[in-house]
Amino acid sequence: MRVVVLGAGVIGVTAAYYLRRAGHEVVVVDRQPGAALETSFANAGEISPGYASPWAAPGIPAKAIRWLLMHHAPLILRPRPDMAMLTWLAAMLRNCTAQRYALNKSRMVGLAEFSRDELVALRRDLGIAYDERSQGTLQLFRTEKQMAGSAKDMDVLRDYGVPFELLDRDGCVRAEPGLAAARDRFVGGLRLPNDETGDCHLFTTRLAERLAADGVEFRYSTAIRALELSGGAIAGVSTDAGTIRGDTYLVALGSHSPQLVRPLGLRLPVYPVKGYSLTVPIADPALAPVSTLLDESYKIAITRLGDRIRVGGMAEISGYDNSLPRRREATLLHSLNDLFPGAARPGPTGFWSGLRPMTPDGPPIIGRAGPANLFLSTGHGTLGWTMACGSAAVVSALISGQRPPIATDGLGLDRYSR
């Protein structure tokens, strides 16, 4: 079968890998001149099934008001007369009940745990290096209140069989020796030893190179305009470089997926939630993080990627906007310099923004939708890097007409029409 994958982010390229492995002819189309140049370019680098949780959770509406008012705000809302934004926000609020949260979380954790195992297997099979580390993540609590609040998270981790360690101040410094100079800034932390880290862009570009050598065709610098429908099936993809045809089509356009399928009558509740990151060279490795540290107060992740530090976070609901206000950079730098003073070399920061493709309930949308030869893998939100390989294995099995490797209940678009 000839499968046309729309989008060369981490979701599209990993899907191409599994599809190729299943014996299909694969074409990947993207408007950028290479792979992973939009949201998959400079994310926070965490492979973190342990933190796979929907944003829509009980208590979030009250917390959101507090976050919006903070000086270094983790949440920014710019209301606009945009029906997609308002509908998405309303749907998210509806998902903030204990019952919905438990259901959505179970769907996300199952996929994320499976995905981490698939990534480990892929790395073993292909030997791809991407500044990866398997040294866990540490959620750092600056206050006793945050520390006490982690009891609920630990109950959830126990329920899902995710190993964890609750650490006091000394334990945190043992796990992350670079924190020694900032001992007075925190009281403890929660460590998830099975989490991993790595550079998503490096991984995706190296995987794409391997796939190209294995016969996958990459059509870069090609803007997708529309899906062509004929006789109830997709007959081709219209692009600025002509029509591309295949037997089956997979939409993996991240935050831009809804616009492409809308003319087919498909409404994807995926909305862009902007995040920011910066990437700085390490000045002194002894002062730098060894893995990922999550600064709970600001919801910022600080990750070691080889000889660089990536600092990422914030959630800004402001539509399709990639502008780079300097005060967001200041928030990222504040968290980094407060916890790891002297770790980074002063100079250019590689300040960046990306649009997380978020669903209002949390899990991504994976599966067939509309015409029989159209499939979706999008809406991975805060966890697209974590969930990429698992999502790819699932969608490749569905396209190949095989039984998916994990349960797919609640991952399809049909969950919104129930």
Ligand X SMILES: Cc1cc2nc3c(=O)[nH]c(=O)nc-3n(C[C@H](O)[C@H](O)[C@H](O)COP(=O)(O)OP(=O)(O)OC[C@H]3O[C@@H](n4cnc5c(N)ncnc54)[C@H](O)[C@@H]3O)c2cc1C
- The nearer residue to ligand X, 187 or 383, going by C-beta atoms, is 383
> Which DSSP symbol is given to 249?
E
* Nearest distance from C-beta of residue 184 to ligand X, angstroms: 27
* Nearest distance from C-beta of residue 386 to ligand X, angstroms: 3
* Nearest distance from C-beta of residue 242 to ligand X, angstroms: 14
Whole-number Å distance between alpha carbons of 390 and 346: 38
* Nearest distance from C-beta of residue 169 to ligand X, angstroms: 25
- The nearer residue to ligand X, 9 or 390, going by C-beta atoms, is 9
- The nearer residue to ligand X, 12 or 178, going by C-beta atoms, is 12
* Nearest distance from C-beta of residue 299 to ligand X, angstroms: 11
Helix H or strand E encompassing 54: none
Q: How far is CA 71 from CA 129, 293, 329, 331, in A?
A: 38, 21, 13, 9
* Nearest distance from C-beta of residue 221 to ligand X, angstroms: 9
Q: Which residues bind ligand X (CB under 6 A)?
A: 7-12, 30-32, 36-40, 43-46, 223-224, 252-254, 256, 275-277, 301, 312, 354, 356-357, 378, 380-386
Biggest CA pair distance of the chain: 67
Q: What is the DSSP secondary-structure string of 183-246?
A: GGG-SEEEEETT-EE--HHHHHHHHHHHHHHTT-EEE-S--EEEEEEETTEEEEEEEBTEEE--
The 10 Å CB-count burial string (b at 16+, else e) for 44-78 is bbbbbbbbbbbbbbeebeeebeebeeeebbbbbee
- The nearer residue to ligand X, 121 or 286, going by C-beta atoms, is 121
Nearest to 52 by CA among 383, 380, 311, 297: 383
- The nearer residue to ligand X, 32 or 181, going by C-beta atoms, is 32
* Nearest distance from C-beta of residue 241 to ligand X, angstroms: 10
- Residue pair 166/188 in contact (Cβ under 8 Å)? The answer is yes
Find tokens 């630990």 and name the residue. 154
Whole-number Å distance between alpha carbons of 319 and 86: 11
